[in-house]
Amino acid sequence: MRIAALILLFLVPFLTSCARERIVEKPVLHEVVRTEYRDVPADLTVPCEKSEIPDTMTYGEAIEAWAKDRSAVDRCNGKLAGIKSLSAGDELVED
């Protein structure tokens, strides 16, 4: 009787381990983002010119200075548009 009790005592843990369900986790999918870097053309990275404003100026000189500054701002905006088009993946469009 003692031997039968010992055998049952050792077999009970084996029977309970077989009764458990095996948990299998589903694989997790990860999205990989590939970034392609492009060199920015050197003509787009040239600093924009800054005009000097004299202490005294006539109305005519002020209008000429405004027109010059306005064209400089337009050129800088064109450079920024070129850089934005490169970052968006478009081809560079020259003005």
pLDDT tens figures, 36-60: 777 888 888 888 877 788 888 899 9
Integer Cα distance of 44 and 38 in angstroms: 13
Nearest to 49 by CA among 80, 78, 66, 71: 71
59, 69 Cβ separation under 8 angstroms = no
Residue 93, pLDDT above cutoff 80: no
